[in-house]
Every structure is written in C-alpha cells, then in structure tokens.
Structure 1
Amino acid sequence: MGHAAGLFNGAADQTLISRVTPTAEQRQFLQTHWNAVADHLRQVLSARHGYPVSTWLQGSYKYATLIKPVRPAEEYDVDVGVYFQWDKSEDIEPTPRQLRDWVQAEIVTYARTCEDLHTVEAPKERCSRVSYVRQFHIDTPVYHLDPKRDHRRLACLSDKWEASDPKAIYKWFKAAVPAGDREQLRRLVRYLKAWAAVSFDDVPSSRPSSILLTVVATEAYQGLWARRLLAFADDDALISVIKAVHDRLFADRAVNNPVDESESINRMSAEDWDGFLPRLGNLRDIAERADDSVDEAAAALIWSEAFSFLMPLPEAGEVEIVDEASGRAVMQLPEIDIEVYSRNPKAFISRHRNEVPGVAKNCDLAFRIVNPHVVPEYATVEWTVRNEGEDADVRSDLGHRQVGMKLLSANEHTAYVGRHFMDCVVRQNGQVYALRRVPVMIREVRHVARNPPRPAYTKLRSFIRRR
C-alpha cells in the first residue's frame, strides 16, 4: 500500500477524492437543472421544426469523473447533447448553422422562465452555454443523428459539419477495464483533473482538456493489468499512470480518438504544448519522490506540491522533519502568533499561538512567525489555507496558497463556519524542513472566547532520506 493511500481514498475525515468530488446535494442540483433544460429542448424543438429531437448527457458528468470547481470563480461543466434526427438520404436538410440558431433561440426563451439561470452566453463554435447560480453551466452541443446508420456529426457555428461521436468514445471508456476496476480508474482521472485545475494558472491555454486526460489515463491504466490483479492503492496506481503518461507524451504528443484514429484529441498548439510538457515532467518528479518517501506525512507534503490546497495533510498540529541518520530535527518548528481583528470598525480582539480555537465570521487574521531566526536564510515559506465544511463546499472555496522567500507573515479573513487550517511549510531547495498546522475554528458567534482550552494536537516526526 502507498504511503499516502489513506489521504487519497481512505477513511480519514478529509481525503483528496472527497475534497474534489461533488457532494450528493450538489449532484442533485446539477441533475435537476440539466433534466429541465433537456426536457424543454426536446419538446419545443421537435414541435417547432418537425424533426424528432433527443438529448444525451455526455462529458465528465456522464463518465462520473466530474470534479468540483476548485475556486469561487470557476464553474461545474455539464454537457447535454441535442440530437436532430433525419435520414441522410433526404434531399433537403437543415444546415449546421440553422440547427445552432434554433437551439440558441430556445435557450434564450427558456432562460426567461428559470430563476436559477442567470446568463445565456453568445454561442461558441461547438456549443451554446447557459450559466446558473451556484457555479454551474450547461453546454449544449448540437448534432445530426442518422438513426438508420447510427451516425452522428456535430453542427458548428461556422456552418460546417464535424465528425464527432461522443457515444462511441463513452462506450469505449466503459469497456476499457473490468467493472471491478472502473471506480479506481474514475478516481485516477479525477486526481489528474485536480492537478490540472491548480497547476496551470500562469499558462491557462496549456491546461489539458478533460477528454485528453481521460483517454491517456485510461490507456495507461489498461497497461497495468498485471498489477491490478492484486490490491492496488490509489497513490501507487496514480504514480504508475503518471509515469506511463509522461513516457508516452514525451515521446509523441499525438493522442487520437480511440474509436476514430482520424480524429486528434490533442488540440494544443505547439506553444501551449511547450507549457504543458514541463509541468507533466514536474508531476512525474513529484510522484517519484512521493514513492520514495518513508511515511504518510512526508508523502503528503510531497504530493501537496502537485495538488496544493486540495491535498489533505495528516491530522497533526506539527510535522517535524528528522534526519534519518542522526534522528535529530532538521530545524526547530516555527511558532506562529495569530492576531484577530474585527471589521467595521477595525479593532483588536485577541491573540493566539499556533491555533485559533474560536473566532467569528468576518474577522481579519494576521499570522506571523515569531521565531524567524529558525527559518533558513534562503528558505521559502508557504502559507496554505485548506478550507473544510459545508459553507466552503457551497462556494467551492477549497483554499489557496501564497509562497515567498522568507515570507514570515500572511493575512486572511474568516468567511465559512467550520474547522479550517492555515498550514505553514518551510522549504529549502524544494526540501521540506518543517510544517506547522494552525487549526482555525470559525463559529456562529459574535465574540471570540479569550481563554479557550487547547486541544491535544499531536506531533508527527517525518524522516528525510539523504540522496
């Protein structure tokens, strides 16, 4: 079993898969609305234009690999294909642009009746889009379906037909591995999508598409059939998939549709590919170092380089990095003071050390390392907020990170009820030296308790191997 298997998909309160997977309530909200818009389009388009119209859910929701938006500004993406049916042998048929205009017009009409729908965007080349409250949009690609030949083609806004059959590739995905391995494959795809969601902020056009990650991960996982015969922990499986994907794409960037070799799934430009490949190489380096780690804490800290605030850390107040040879701590742990201030008007409320046992919403927190002499001269300090709880889930605000050379302080504010963490990690030359976890308990209160009891947080020692 991998060192961090329990933090990927285990019984811990916080796991990577639970942090990135939509909750049952969120899935219900999505399902209610895509069903409603699909019902409307089927009925109205067929009655108005005389063609049988069907809809088919596709994309990540259909594959069961959908992940949450990882930041408040992002949205869930649900794809509902709209299929106009007629026999291709007919002499007269609507043009691709006509189909797109018909669907766009009905979406605009539907938007006037749906309170939760707030924006109808200008049509895109391959789909129309409607955005809802609660960070959710529906894309509606439009197809011609020839039922006699079971053939589909996509209607583009540029008035062109494009060969595209989402049903065929979905059937390939379902048949790619035995049913008993399918759930793990879906989790692996979600992990890769989570990595992509936090790793391309500076080069967004180099972020790989969902279908690209799904295809390369599935084909890599198929090649691991021998290892799948035995228990295969998620982090071990992910390491193997990352290595296989990197070997493949480093040698050849071509990724074709597995059911139609003439269609390329990799649509990145050469420039965008140059932004993607080094990050994939860095992911492989992280995976290999995590594989070489000796315990859960060390592995989790290494994986956090790839997954940032999405990666949960062990339930401990302190992680001390210890030299394997001498058994001594590499550095003294940072001590962190937290000052709490109210807003409107701003006023000092309280000061805490290494934890905030109780604080109200809408307060400002000032974190500061009070023993800066323990931080090595050229070390970087990472301040990572990891949010938990229903309030943070509703806003898809799972956290954020700031990093700087000897960044000895950080400022935050309290927004969501529940337990959250400010994690302070000291690194030098990429190597973790120490971690201080600062739990912050946000409550529905007006005043902060002055002298709350300290919880008995544990201390972990993580061994470091010298290379």
Structure 2
Amino acid sequence: MGKASRLFNGQAEQTLYARVTPSAEQREFLQQQWNALADHLSAQLARHGYPIRTWLQGSYKYGTLIKPVRLGEEYDVDLGLYFEWEADDDEAEPTPAQLRDWVQRELMAYQAQHPELKKVSQPPKERCSRAIYAQRFHIDTPTYHLDPDTDIRRLATLSDKWESSDPKRLYKWFKQVVSGGDRDQLRRLIRYLKGWAAVAFDGAEEARPSSIVLTVLVAEIYRGMWLERLGGMDDDDALIAVIKAIHEQLSESRDVWNPVDDRESLNRISKEAWPAFMTRLNALRDCAENAEGAEDEFAAAIAWSEALSFLMPLPEADGVEIADPRSSSALMQIPDIQVEVGNEWEFKQAAATYRNEVPAVPKGHFLRFTILNPQIVPAMAQVEWTVRNEGNDADTIGDLGHARGGIGMHSVEERTSYVGKQYMDVVVRCNGSVYAARRVAVHISESKALAPRATPRAWITLRSKKGRRR
C-alpha cells in the first residue's frame, strides 16, 4: 500500500486529486461558455458556403482538465472547428490562411457583442485562435478541413500550410487504452503530472511539457502495467512507476510519437530547452524514489511536496517531530509560531496575536508569522514556508498556494484573501533532512470580528522517521 495514498485520493481532509480537479459546477460553467461560442461560430462561418462541425477536444474532452493553480493562470478549453468539403483537384478550395482569417474575424465580432469575452489574441497563434474570457479561462479554436468522403482532417496553420492532424482518432485511441476503474485512475495520474508541470517550470516555461505529451506518455506506460494493475495499485504507487518509466524513456529519446500517426513526434520542446526539462524530470524521479522509500505518511508527503509544492497536502497534524533512529529522540523541538494580525493590508500595530493557530480572522488583513523560539533552529537550517489555500474563494481566483524559504528565514508576511480554512506549513530542513514541521491553520471568514483568543484544544503531534533526500 502506498505510504501517501490517503493524501492522493483517499479520505484525508485535503487530497491532491481534489486540489487539482475542477468541481462539477466549474466544468458545467465552462461547458455553457463553449457551447454558446460553438453555436455562434457554426451559424456565422456557414455563410462562407461550407458545412461546419464543432468538436470539443483537449483536456476537457479527455477528462484530465486541472484547475488554474496560480494567480494569472486560466482554464484551457479547445474547441475544434471543421469546414467540410470534398477534396477535388479540379475545384478551387479555401487556403489554410483563409480559414484562419474567417475564424479570427468571427471571434472579433463575437467579442463585440459579449463583454464577458475580454480579448481575442492578436495576432493569432500558429495553430489556433484564442478567445480570452474575464472569468479566468480561454477557448482555443484550432481550425480544420474535413473531407466527409475520406474522413481525413487537416489542420489550418497561420503560415498558410496544412498539417496532418486528427484529434478524434487520438481521442478514440485514448478511450481504448484501458477501461472502467483503470481509466479513472489513468486520468488521475495524468492530472497529478499536469499539476507537477504547472508548478515545476517557473522561469523555464519553454521547457514545460504539453498536456498531450503527458497524456500519451502516461497512457502508453499505464497500459503496459497490466500485471501490476491486476491486484490493484494505489495512486501514489502507480505514479511512482509511471514517473520512473517516463524518465527512462525520455532519457533515451526526446521523441513522443503520436500513437495514431507514427510520423509525428508530439514533443515540441526545443533542443535548447530540453536540458531544463530533464533537470526537472530528474528531480521528480528523485522525489518519487524518496516517497517510495519513506517509512510513514508524513515522510512520503514531504518527499512528494518537493516536486508538487503547495499542491501536495500534508497529514492532519499540528506539528511533526522527526526521530533520530540512533537515539529515538527528536532531532529538534517543534517550533512555535506567533501570528500577528494587522488591520486592512498594513501592519502598524498588531490588532491580535495568536500562537500556532488563527481561530478567526476577516478577509483583507495582514498576517506576520514568526518562529517564537528561533534558538532551537540549527544555524544553517533552511526554513520553508508554504501556503496551502482551498475553498471557493481560492478556486474562483485560481490561487491554490505558494512557497518560499531560506536560511534563517524566521518570519514571513501574508494577507488574508480567501474565506475558508487555509494553512501555513513550516518545515525546517538541515543538510537535506527534515528536522521538524508545524502546521498553522488560519480560519478566514467574511465576519469583521477577530477571535479574542484561541480556544484551548488537544494538539495533534506526529512522529516521523528521519529521512535524507537522495
């Protein structure tokens, strides 16, 4: 059984799957928006004399869509537009550039009538136009020629070329890879790796793997794991196996071949950006192996959090002490955290002060977190502060958290922005080993009242085994 399986897709207070997966309401909202746009484009583009079909494709279609996890990120929906005509050498046909121009013009016309569509990217992208909405999502509209006689599809590019591309065949292939509960787990594994890609490539966006590359890699590897799947696999065990296999495959070759067209490599990461990708993939494999070798849930969760950052939840505990296996004593005392609350986005004087938990604080306030007993922290220790947000407010804005840290960073400042139970997690590391951890729950409400003091309660402390990163 996987050490952290409960935190991936189990009965934990927070799970990785829930943190990255859109709610049913969010998916329904996106569906309403792309349906409205599809109806408009189908009716207006048909005036050019060709039947129009639309087909939803990409992550939404595959069931692997993830939430935006950082401020400024958006949901990505792909709406394919298909112009139908029979290919005939004797008759003139629209060029790829003409199709793209027609689509771009209709998107601009739609924007003029619908204020919720705030922008149409100009110039368009090489392989699609993009409609950007105010509600943190965009719809890409790849445009195709469909020959109804042969069922062959060609993608129209901005550079006035046709590309062989058949997203429908690829989707059919994906649906046939596995079935039932295995397909559900496959989709979860893809979402986990898309979450990793969302947080691991800051400053190296050109090295970030595409959704379709991750989807094909995971699907092909998972299909080959039929023997392991016979007895059932927890999500974290399956993810470890998939990560190792991806690492081995991509260490040998950059190519990720299209399973329905072996002439096309889906990987578009450039040769120049490839070293940055491999550096992060190497780190992901190291984290997976550390999680595999962990002796308990907390150690496994900490290992995964090195790759997944604030997306990876931690066990429900107020503090964690790490036992030295040579003496069974704790490596260090769990740090106590003082939280000072300042009024209205600035800190002139503390309106309230709490220790290790903030029982009630309104939105729009300033917080300062400080280690009260810094003398217990080893001199060269790295102090990591990780914010894990959840709830409707954080989902609506698209801000699931962030992390920062440094040697001697005994204090950090934050603001209360989202209603709900949020966490500030403090982890102390020395020479690569975790020495102690403290979870500070911050209960944020719409109320304007501060809690006068924390209600006495029994604190939950875990003990974990010392584990060094490889």
Query: Which TM-score bucket, shorter chain as reference?
Result: over 0.9
How far off its partner does 1:450 sit? 1.6
- Asked if structure 2 preserves the Cα contact closer than 8 Å seen for 1:357 and 1:454, the reply is no
| Structure 2 equivalent of residue 409 of structure 1 | 411
Residue 206 in 1 paired to residue 207 in 2? yes
Does structure 1 conserve the Cα–Cα contact (< 8 Å) formed by 2:435 and 2:466?
A: no
Asked if 1:238 corresponds to 2:246, the answer is no
- The equivalent residue for 1:438 is 440
Q: Which residue of 2 aligns with 1:459?
A: 461
Q: Following the alignment from structure 2 to structure 1, what is the Cα–Cα distance between the partners of residues 134 and 459?
A: 39
1:327 shift after superposition = 1.6
Counterpart in the other structure of 1:71: 70
Give the corresponding residue for 1:420.
422
In the alignment, what sits opposite 1:385?
Answer: 387
Q: Deviations over 1:244-266 (max 9, x none)?
A: 01011111111111111111111
**Contact 2:345-2:365 at 8 Å conserved across structures:** no
In 2 relative to 1, CA 13–159 (structure 1 residues): closer, same or farther, beyond 3 Å? same
SS of corresponding position for 2:60: helix
Q: Match of 2:267, SS?
A: coil
Deviations along 1:328-381, one digit per CA (max 9) or x if unpaired, are 111111111111110277442011111111111111001111211111122111
SS in 2 for 1:407: coil
The residue identity in structure 2 corresponding to 1:81 is G
Q: Matches of 1:261 and 1:445 in 2, distance apart?
A: 59
SS in 2 for 1:312: coil
Deviations 1:446-466 (A, max 9, x none): 231222313433111111257
User: CA–CA distance in 1 between the matches of 2:242 and 2:453?
Assistant: 50
User: Percent identity among equivalent residues?
Assistant: 59
Q: How do 1:67-106 and structure 2 match up within 5 A?
A: 67-89=66-88, 91-106=91-106
- For residues 396 and 198 of structure 2, the distance between their equivalents in structure 1, rounded to whole angstroms, comes to 18
CA distance in 2, matches of 1:196, 1:172: 24
CA distance in 2, matches of 1:221, 1:379: 40
Instruction: Output the CA distance in 1 between the equivalents of 2:350 and 2:374.
Output: 23
What are the residue-to-residue correspondences of 1:5-16 with 2, within 5 Å? Answer: 5-16=5-16
Letter in 2 for 1:43: A
SS of residue paired to 2:44: helix
Q: Are 1:173 and 2:174 matched, yes or no?
A: yes
SS at match of 2:43: helix
Query: Match for 1:97: what amino acid?
Result: A
Mapped contact 2:5–2:235 kept (Cα < 8 A): yes
CA contact (8 A) 1:2 1:235 kept: yes
Q: CA deviation at 1:44?
A: 1.2
- Any residues of structure 2 matched to 1:135-146 within 5 Å, and which? 135-146=136-147
Contact 1:324 1:465 in 2 (8 A): no
Q: CA deviation at 1:13?
A: 2.5
Could you tell me how far apart the structure 2 residues matched to 1:67 and 1:452 are? 36
User: Which residues in structure 2 correspond to 1:32-431 (within 5 Å)?
Assistant: 32-46=32-46, 48-89=47-88, 91-122=91-122, 123-343=124-344, 346-431=348-433
Asked if structure 2 preserves the Cα contact closer than 8 Å seen for 1:96 and 1:155, the reply is yes
Instruction: Look up the SS of the partner of 2:350 in the other structure.
Output: strand
- Find the residue that maps to 1:157 and give its secondary structure: coil
| Whole-Å separation in 1 of the counterparts to 2:442 and 2:381 | 25
Measured against aligned partners, the alpha-carbon deviations of 1:193-237 in whole angstroms (never above 9, x if no partner) come to 000100000211111111111111111111211000012000000
Aligned-partner Cα distance in 1 for 2:172–2:345: 57
The SS at the match of 2:450 is coil
Measured against aligned partners, the alpha-carbon deviations of 1:285-319 in whole angstroms (never above 9, x if no partner) come to 10011011111111111111011111111111001
- Cα separation, 1, equivalents of 2:155 and 2:432: 47
Q: CA deviation at 1:430?
A: 2.2
Conserved 8 A contact 1:323-1:465: no
Q: Distance in 1 between matches of 2:327 and 2:404?
A: 32
The number of aligned residues is: 466
The code of the aligned residue for 1:243 comes to K
| TM-score scaled by length of structure 1 | 0.98
CA contact 2:311–2:400 (8 Å) conserved in 1: yes
State the AA in 1 paired with 2:231.
L
The residue identity in structure 2 corresponding to 1:102 is W
Task: Write the distance in 2 (CA, Å) between the matches of 1:465 and 1:14.
Answer: 24
CA distance in 2, matches of 1:158, 1:54: 23
d(CA) in 2 for partners of 1:321, 1:223:
38
Rounded Cα–Cα distance in structure 1 between residues aligned with 2:101 and 2:63: 30
- Partner-residue secondary structure (3-state), 2:27: helix
Tell me whether 209-218 or 321-330 shows the greater mean CA deviation. 321-330
Q: 4+ residue runs of structure 1 moved beyond 3 angstroms? A: 344-347
3-state secondary structure, aligned to 1:35:
helix
Q: Which amino acid aligns with 1:23?
A: S
* One-letter amino acid matched to 2:190: V
How many angstroms apart in 2 are the aligned matches of 1:134 and 1:388?
A: 18
Compared CA separation, residues 373 and 452, structure 1 to 2 (3 A): closer
The one-letter code sitting in structure 1 at the alignment partner of 2:387 is: V
Give the whole-Å Cα distance in 2 for the aligned partners of 1:422 and 1:408: 13
User: Which residue number corresponds to residue 2 of structure 1?
Assistant: 2
**TM-superposition CA deviations, 1:15-41 (whole Å, max 9, x none):** 000000011111111000001101111
Cα RMSD (Å) of the superposition?
1.3
Once residues 87 and 432 of structure 1 are traced to their aligned partners in structure 2, the CA distance between those partners, rounded to angstroms, is 65
Per the alignment, in what secondary structure is the counterpart of residue 270 of structure 1? coil
Tell me how far apart the structure 2 counterparts of residues 126 and 385 of structure 1 sit (CA, whole Å). 37
* CA deviations over 1:390-410 (Å, ceiling 9, x no partner): 111111110101111121110
Determine the C-alpha separation between the residues in 2 that align with 1:178 and 1:264.
Answer: 26
